[in-house]
Amino acid sequence: MSTKHGFYYKEGHEERLFIDSTPVKQVIDRLSSPPTPFILYSLNQFQHNVNTYQHALNDLAPIRARLSYSMKANYNPHLLSILKSSKVMLTTVSGGEMQLALSNGFEPSKIIFNGNGKTDESIQMAIESGVLLNVDSLFDLEVILKYARQLNKIANVLIRVNPILGDSNVHAYNTTASKTSKFGTSIDDLESIYKLIEDNHDKWIRLFGFHCHLGSTISNTQVIVECVEKMIKLFDMKRFHHLRFLNIGGGLNIDYKRYANRTANEPEEHISIPTIEDYVQAIKQPLQSIPNSIEIIVEPGRSLVANTCVIITRVLGQKQTGPIRQLIVDASMTECIRPALYQAYHHIDTVISSPQEERIAYDIVGPVCESGDFLGRERCLPKILQRGDFLAIFDTGAYCSSMSSNYNMRPRPAEYTLDEHEQIKVLKKRETNEDLLRTYCID
């Protein structure tokens, strides 16, 4: 494996964007006029991120700890292969994700199925296969018990608890532990769930632990400390003797603006983000009173995969609209919805540039027929950009490919990486217009 990993700029007479030890422009040239946009992965960066988390979790010893990857961030099977070889668990949120995990050889005991509204089919799949089910509510538990009886199998469950914490510094759409969250059951309302589990314990159901989720853009470790302090009080080993797991869901944010100071007039705003080691220490701090038999699970998604990808896009043109200079590119909200959905920031820059180039501010917009189809506001890019020039949209590994769509009947993009010999490897083929028509029943 290369000693370099991930995406970075290397300065010289030109500033070149690299993936691992290879210039990105070289990848583009070897693809020979590839259809854009496309997604480029550094799997070395992904493996590095996994290793960093697992190394940090070793500091929780003698308490055992496991890493679980939130598949909804990005479920490319090539990522799952790395996770499986690294003995990482998976947290799934649909029957499709669960089936993909099972078909990729993950042991059912290393898969968690979460969700506040599970379908009958997905519940049956989880019970039949032995996957760990998160009980989100009393009605959720009642349906799980119904199918456990029908299938004559014991359902292995965790309870999804809403710890109702204060501001965890996440976007409103990503808040999962507030008083009005749609996820989980309040600690004060758990007794009815406990009672139903007790009435069916070891016959149709077994309670293995508790799960909570704090959002995936955590930048304040104090909220983790408060959460763990609340959760460990739930472990009544006499009442439920199978208790084993405390799953601390959610994860760290990443610094999406770390490249911003490369160019003039870029936003100087940065968020203070704890390190992975800080995150683990925040979990460890309140664990002194936890039984030795309890195992900790942490389930980041974003901070494992976000910085492993860039989207490569071509310039279509530029125009002046009043006071605003617009740069139109062929990527859009169908490949990177986060700016339109959350007003999220992704750094955008050229693949090759000269330090002497004059830069001006652009609003970078896509071709989708929506006024909200923008990728960045007031970004400083070279004034001389022309149709066909390549740009990179950074940190698109999390919640971009997995949230992509065919809106405006746009084919979803190809996904590539470099193998250990720095040769291009196709991870996912680009969809065609024929692919989009195939599911329609046309006479």
pLDDT tens column, 322-331: 999 999 999 9
Residues 6+ apart with CB under 8 A from 238: none
Question: Where are the chain's structural domains?
Answer: 7-42+307-437, 88-300
- Determine the pLDDT at residue 341: 94
Backbone angles phi, psi at 101, to 5 degrees: -65, -45
In the structure encoding, which two tokens stand for residue 33, read together? Answer: 């006029």
Give percent of the chain with pLDDT exceeding 90: 78
Q: How far apart are CA 104 and CA 98, in angstroms?
A: 10
Distance of CA 380 to the CA centre of its chain: 28
- Determine the pLDDT at residue 262: 62
Q: How far apart are CA 160 and CA 236, in angstroms?
A: 16
Q: How far apart are CA 311 and CA 348, in angstroms?
A: 9
- Determine the pLDDT at residue 16: 92
| Domains 7-42+307-437 and 88-300 belong to one CATH topology | no
| Residue 234 and residue 161 in contact, taking contact as beta carbons nearer than 8 Å | yes
Which residue stretches of the chain have pLDDT < 50? Answer: 1-2, 168, 171, 173-174, 177
| Residue 220 and residue 168 in contact, taking contact as beta carbons nearer than 8 Å | yes
- Determine the pLDDT at residue 173: 44
| Residue 422 and residue 20 in contact, taking contact as beta carbons nearer than 8 Å | yes
| Residue 260 and residue 267 in contact, taking contact as beta carbons nearer than 8 Å | yes
Q: Which CATH superfamily is domain 7-42+307-437 in?
A: Lyase, Ornithine Decarboxylase; Chain A, domain 1 (2.40.37.10)
Average pLDDT, the chain: 91
| Residue 312 and residue 40 in contact, taking contact as beta carbons nearer than 8 Å | yes
Kind of pairing between the strands at 205-213 and 155-162: parallel
| Residue 383 and residue 359 in contact, taking contact as beta carbons nearer than 8 Å | yes
- Determine the pLDDT at residue 170: 53
Strands (E), 100-239: 111-113, 132-135, 155-162, 185-186, 205-213
| Residue 353 and residue 15 in contact, taking contact as beta carbons nearer than 8 Å | yes
- Determine the pLDDT at residue 177: 47
- Determine the pLDDT at residue 13: 62
- Determine the pLDDT at residue 1: 44
- Active-site residue numbers? 369
| Residue 1 and residue 44 in contact, taking contact as beta carbons nearer than 8 Å | yes
- Determine the pLDDT at residue 2: 47
- Determine the pLDDT at residue 401: 98
- Determine the pLDDT at residue 378: 95
Residues 6+ apart with CB under 8 A from 26: none
In the structure encoding, which two tokens stand for residue 354, read together? Answer: 């000269």
| Residues facing 207 on adjacent strands | 157
| Residue 193 and residue 242 in contact, taking contact as beta carbons nearer than 8 Å | no
Q: Under CATH, what is the fold of the domain 88-300?
A: TIM Barrel (3.20.20)
Residues 6+ apart with CB under 8 A from 440: none
| Residue 427 and residue 75 in contact, taking contact as beta carbons nearer than 8 Å | no
In the structure encoding, which two tokens stand for residue 411, read together? Answer: 């084919």
